[in-house]
Amino acid sequence: MDEKGFMLGITTKEKRIFSRRKYEHGGLKQHLQDGNREWITTIASSDSGWTNHELGYQWLVDVFDKETKSQASRGWRLLILDGHGSHVNMRFIEYCDRNRILLAIFPAHATRTLQPLDVALFAPLSKAYTKELRRFLDDCQGLTRLSKRDFFRLFWASWKIAFTSDNINSAFKNTGFYPFNPELAIQRFTQKPEILPSSSESSASIIKAEDWRRISKLVKDAVSNVYEEKAHQLHDTMLHLSTENILLKAQVEGLQRGISNINKRQAKKRTLLLDLPAENEGGAIFFSPSKVQQARDLQLQKDENAAQEQARKDDKASAAA
């Protein structure tokens, strides 16, 4: 289980092929986009557009339990999900325990590698939605705005393209869940040796190798003696400007990453009950019956601590009065 968010009128990145002459004339720099940034999460409906405790519980009862109970009969079922606070709370856990549902929680920051939905299904879903949205924008030519009532028909067409049996089976196979093959996941976390490019061909360098040679040739052509003081000054100026550009580029990229991190912190998902003790689980939590009891005990301890802290504050306030 995982939720997927959409900005209503925002497409993913696209590529276009055109000639240099067309680009220089300026006719292909504009990109038609609706720009509606209303947020839609495809799990259920909420006023904010974000999932919450009630929606997570509703999905568990009305979707997962309802759709899998008849196949499981009296057997146990396994639900794999992340540690989002709307999922991992005691109400959610208690329902699973009563209805023979085992919970497996992904380690933090690992869903893009381990979560079948992230690995093989959400990307083609976003791509298909962009295609449907592009068709909608081309049809209306920006004369009408995309609204939430338009969303579902675009989304459902995209869903039927992305969520096929082949893609779903591929998602579980490529993450090593079924057929069971943990090496597939481990390989993704194994660092590969980096092949560093030469300094003149580094992606951080503004000037490519062929451009260095061209500039050197220009310097030689511009001066009669490359060993003269003016030739050295010209060469040094070129290096200075190039280095300054590289530093400015690095600074801009750093600021962009900083802004991105701030935005991520503002939208950070709240986790709950992930401070349970784990025995060699790599940050994952498997809610077996014994782990469910640990969660109950931990929640009880938290409630008692909160009650004691509130009582202390009340006593302090009464003494001050």
**What backbone phi and psi angles, to 5 degrees, belong to 297?**
-65, -40
Amino acid at 52: N
CB atoms under 10 Å from CB of 204, counted, come to 11
135 has pLDDT over 80: yes
**pLDDT value, residue 60:** 92
| Mean pLDDT computed over 11-29 | 66
Tell me the per-residue pLDDT of 170-207, one tens digit each, with 9 for 90 and over: 999 999 999 999 888 888 777 665 555 554 444 445 55
Contact (Cβ atoms closer than 8 angstroms) between residue 90 and residue 296: yes
**pLDDT value, residue 200:** 47
**pLDDT value, residue 192:** 64
Tell me the per-residue pLDDT of 251-276, one tens digit each, with 9 for 90 and over: 787 777 667 655 654 554 445 565 67
pLDDT band (50, 70, 90) for residue 17: low
What is the share, in percent, of the chain residues with pLDDT greater than 70? Answer: 70
Is the bond into 179 cis (omega within 30 degrees of 0)? yes
Helix H, strand E, coil C: the string for 241-308 is HHHHHHHHHHHHHHHHHHHHHHHHHHCCCCECCCCCCCCCCCCCEEECHHHHHHHHHHHHHHHHHHHH
Tell me the per-residue pLDDT of 42-98, one tens digit each, with 9 for 90 and over: 667 666 555 577 888 888 999 999 999 998 888 999 999 887 766 678 889 999 999
pLDDT band (50, 70, 90) for residue 290: confident
**Which residues are registered as beta bridge partners of 105?**
81, 285
Q: Considering all CA atoms of the chain, what is the largest pairwise distance in Å, rounded to the nearest integer?
A: 92
Tell me the per-residue pLDDT of 214-233, one tens digit each, with 9 for 90 and over: 777 777 777 777 677 777 77
Of residues 258 and 304, which shows the higher confidence score? 304
pLDDT band (50, 70, 90) for residue 165: very high
DSSP 201: G
3-state secondary structure of 178: coil
